[in-house]
Structure 1
């Protein structure tokens, strides 16, 4: 990249084409040729929503406007690419209009930074504080190859990605007090929340090309964008009197968002990248990260999260709050949330994201084909110790049948949720078998929060099967009940095979004394635990959970006996 770090024209993003070949592209080429790009090659799973929200979507929405009707959205989507007129408007937006505001190292207005930002202490820190997987301060990952004493040199393109990542996902640790920040105290700022995305489980619908992904992440608003709503690079065009601080200045404010563009490009930190010359060219080696704007609450127009609805919230709290992803669980295990199309107004429960509800509505109107190969990417960070460190990154991608998003016709959704529930119930049955075998051998059940459970290995073995099921059900028709029934039978048989494999491993590992077992007294009652009794209880549970597989097995046994 050039010395100013031109994000518009320099090749700093890795684009993977339909043929699988990767090439470097700048922001303008990424958008104008979005129909030829299958996906972006990004360093971590949490980076996709960052690039979409902080760059691609706001540029497209501000330059071309929001679709106001399903018909307008449909015309854009089925065209499959930007028109020549739209490409010219994007080129003008990223050229004469705002091109000079996308320069990473501009002296007066560096992109997503504060020019001349200085720490009250006069010190700077290593660029590692921008990258959660590298040791910095209290954030010391277990497998980091660098210590805080090592110098991390970031190429300009990588620095741009991690700069935006910090705005979205930064920890809630103490931030450097900045010169000119009236809220800094004793050289630091405390009480910082995590970045906005760190407070939710992010859900991003994806298509066959980057162009389709952009449309799938574009909400349809009849009234268009809010008057005065501007992205961070056009903050000076906002109307006066809104009481918000400019993201290009040191001072910050606690506030709600004022529109979709403001939400997508929210500047949760005040940052300055510091460069040095190396044999490889210009590199970012130091940075200052200080406090930035704070959201008073997650906006209800937030498009990239599912919600937890509370019918009777506490005083001062909203009915809806963002749902986080559970660590250690595959995305398909959370289908109950992704497919929760109806708002549970009379009770507590999940409610899917705005964009997935919109996709369901588009399918109702025949805008999207029933067989459209929709994908969903989920991402999140798990924080620890007052959210000051990153403990785990969560990321997954999932094929999702569009038919399952229909609010008024839930036959496919019910079938999918039954499959997920069966996996969960069988996993619990395996844990129950393990605990009974431990009791029979003279031990105690595993504590809830300790030890390796057979259910974890079992659910992992089902991962590929569930993804194949979801991919196959993309093409099922509403009137093809026989195909759906066969798919559910095949699923149950696969679950049975994998569960029996885990159960046999548990029985093999049980010591001989588990056959004799033992009697445990609890109050006035006695409980007998033996391996034979334990496996009998397990098989009875399995037959109840997997009725199709049990019936098929029973029919085959009767047929064999008859012969």
Structure 2
């Protein structure tokens, strides 16, 4: 990469090509060669949506335009790559006649996604580690960090760019440095900052076989196209002055709605300046200023990268639909009920999947996506703590997903997948109940809800690979009912075998007195707790949950007491 951090032609972005070879490339080349790029090499799961939204997608959509119909989308997708005409549009867009000079991150009057002359009111700068959540900095103290705030962190321009984009999307809500020229800064700081826009979502990103397909799968179809007034952050000076919004290239900020998809994707939630110094290896970013930036008035329902919680009767002043966050400690397949919620709840409250997954189902219905297309879904999110001022946990997972399960009018495959996920969940709860009953029979008490590791956690972990293989296999099931029934049976047998193994492990650990058990008073009545009774109740419940496996081998796994 050149000393001024040229993003267009400098080699800064890690990628893996079709034959598995790693390379570094620039913005223009990675887009032109998107069809030969298997995946991007990024330092964290939360980096993919940040890079897609803050850079790759808005460049593509602004240069080429959005498809207005499913047919237009299918034609683009069917080419398997950007056409010669589209490559010419991208090249011109990133060239010197248009926006090429605005894609440099070091020096210049308009460094990318930064404020060129940003100064702190106290005149100080901070370590660039402030941009990296996994490194100890300020109040953010991860459990495992190779560096402390006393250590100097040096980032290459490419690394610094990635964490710069990440901060715009995921930064914590901690107090920000007051900036010179910001009238809302008080006593050298700005309080009341929300997290970055993605920090308020449970991010869902559909992925394809290569970067081109991933870009297409994340391209919304807009019948009216892009609003001419909707501009990305690097073209902020082309927005109508009548909007009265603050320039992201200056220290002032405002609370405002978004002006469209490009504005949403490139929303500048912070005012940032990277500070570099020369080293023997070239320029390295070592200091940073992070000040308050624009605040979203509300997450718009046009955001395509999140599922939603639908409320039938919201309270006064609350939206009917709010972003749905991911739950820590759960695999992505345990949230299939949300990912496959294609329709709003008929009555009451419930989940509603992302616009892009609904769109993928519509495209499958039009045969724009083949029935056996290897669609993947990546989910990610951050869990914040202490008033959202620190990062407590990062959530990241990927999942194969049969596109046929996204068909709104044909729910047979979707029903099977949801039943399989439900069976795993119910079998896990049956194991937890068995553990509680065995503890009572042994003279103890059940585990508190928020303490210790439950048998269901181990059980679901064992099933993780099986579920992923099932989902990958169901991509090719087509309309073969016999194959689907065999897959269901194989799944139930796997669930039963794993549940029986866990049950036998629990039973082997109880003391002999559990056979005799004990009697306790519950609401004035004597209740007997003993191991034989607990095991019998467990197998009865397991038979209800797994009818196909029970019919196939009704005596399989019966434990003795």
Q: 1:367 Cα deviation (Å)?
A: 1.2
Contact 2:102 2:110 in 1 (8 A): yes
TM-score (norm 1): 0.98
Q: Answer yes or no: is 1:122 the counterpart of 2:90.
A: no
Q: 1:476 Cα deviation (Å)?
A: 1.1
Q: 1:277 Cα deviation (Å)?
A: 1.6
Determine helix, strand or coil for the equivalent of 2:554. Answer: helix
TM-score (norm 2): 0.98
Q: 1:92-491 residue pairs with structure 2 within 5 A?
A: 92-96=92-96, 97-478=98-479, 480-491=480-491
Q: 1:94 Cα deviation (Å)?
A: 0.5
Paired position in structure 2 for 1:27: 27
d(CA) in 2 for partners of 1:555, 1:389: 52
d(CA) in 2 for partners of 1:178, 1:528: 68
Provide Cα deviations, 1:416-444, integer angstroms capped at 9, x if missing partner: 00000000000000110111111111111
Paired position in structure 2 for 1:560: none
Q: 1:556 Cα deviation (Å)?
A: 8.9
Q: 1:345 Cα deviation (Å)?
A: 4.9
Paired position in structure 1 for 2:543: 543
Contact 1:371 1:474 in 2 (8 A): yes
Q: 1:281 Cα deviation (Å)?
A: 1.6
d(CA) in 2 for partners of 1:556, 1:179: 73
Q: 1:38-77 residue pairs with structure 2 within 5 A?
A: 38-77=38-77
d(CA) in 2 for partners of 1:499, 1:385: 38
Q: 1:523 Cα deviation (Å)?
A: 2.7
d(CA) in 1 for partners of 2:459, 2:150: 42
d(CA) in 1 for partners of 2:368, 2:280: 53
Provide Cα deviations, 1:507-543, integer angstroms capped at 9, x if missing partner: 1111122122111112311111111111111111100
Determine helix, strand or coil for the equivalent of 2:447. Answer: coil
Contact 2:253 2:294 in 1 (8 A): yes
d(CA) in 2 for partners of 1:467, 1:158: 32
RMSD (Å), alpha carbons: 1.1
d(CA) in 1 for partners of 2:123, 2:226: 41
Provide Cα deviations, 1:191-229, integer angstroms capped at 9, x if missing partner: 000000000100000000100000000011111001210
d(CA) in 2 for partners of 1:520, 1:19: 66
Change (3 A) 1:556 1:424: closer
Q: 1:77-96 residue pairs with structure 2 within 5 A?
A: 77-96=77-96
d(CA) in 2 for partners of 1:226, 1:394: 34
d(CA) in 2 for partners of 1:340, 1:128: 39
Contact 1:311 1:345 in 2 (8 A): no
Structure 2, unaligned runs of 5 or more: none
Structure 1, unaligned runs of 5 or more: 558-563
Provide Cα deviations, 1:247-267, integer angstroms capped at 9, x if missing partner: 001000100101000000000
Contact 2:3 2:282 in 1 (8 A): no
Contact 1:177 1:290 in 2 (8 A): yes
Provide Cα deviations, 1:137-173, integer angstroms capped at 9, x if missing partner: 1100000111111111111110000000000000000
Paired position in structure 2 for 1:523: 523
Out of 6-15 and 515-524, give the one that drifted further.
515-524
Paired positions, count: 556
Out of 66-75 and 518-527, give the one that drifted further.
518-527
